[in-house]
């Protein structure tokens, strides 16, 4: 039987909110399902609270709210954080991404998340 996890897009205003909402959806209050993009990819590969047989799906309800909240302004905020933490060899590329986001160009945080779902667990995410 397929396990369905529901993400409520109305509760996602920042990337940090996304981590909380997905963690609680999969593992209950205070639950963990990644707190960075690499961890999300790892979690989607299985284990970490998802069924061992891999038969699970995510429904992202009211995703349009989250898509707007996780748009270019949130992307700018996240890239500014990343720029302060990244290895010096990555600063130029992160700065370029940041400049594009400030101009309203390039992928957004929402795009990053959906891309990870599609790349690591194709077909498990439904945008509702």
Q: What are phi and psi of 93, to 5 degrees?
A: -70, -40
- Reported as a single tens digit per residue, the pLDDT across 80-90 is 999 999 999 99
Which pLDDT score, from 0 to 100, does residue 119 have?
Answer: 97
Q: Residue 104: pLDDT above 80?
A: yes
Residue ranges of domains in the chain, CATH in brackets: 1-70+108-128 (3.30.370.10), 72-107 (no CATH)
What's the per-residue H, E or C state across the chain?
A: CCEEEEEEHHHCCCHHHHHHHHHHHHHCCCCCCCCCHHHHHHHHCCCCCCCCCCCEEEEEECHHHHHHHCCHHHHHHHHHHHHHHCCHHHHHHHHHHHHHHHCCCCCCHHHHHHHHHHHHCCCCEEEC
Q: Residue 6: pLDDT above 90?
A: yes
117 vs 47, more confident: 117
Contact indicator for 33, 27 with CB cutoff of 8 Å: yes
- Reported as a single tens digit per residue, the pLDDT across 7-65 is 999 999 999 999 999 999 999 999 888 899 999 999 998 777 777 777 899 999 999 99
55 vs 77, more confident: 77
């Amino acid at each position: 039987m397929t396990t369905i996890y529901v993400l409520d897009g109305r509760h996602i205003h920042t990337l940090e909110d996304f981590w909380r909402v997905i963690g609680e959806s999969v593992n209950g209050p205070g639950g963990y399902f990644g707190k960075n993009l690499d961890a999300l990819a790892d979690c989607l590969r299985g284990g970490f609270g998802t069924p061992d047989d891999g038969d699970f799906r995510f429904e992202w309800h009211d995703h349009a709210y989250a898509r707007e909240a996780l748009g270019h302004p949130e992307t700018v905020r996240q890239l500014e954080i990343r720029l302060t933490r990244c290895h010096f060899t990555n600063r130029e590329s992160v700065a370029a991404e940041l400049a594009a986001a400030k101009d309203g160009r390039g992928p957004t945080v929402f795009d990053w998340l959906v891309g990870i779902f599609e790349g690591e667990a194709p077909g498990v995410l439904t945008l509702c």
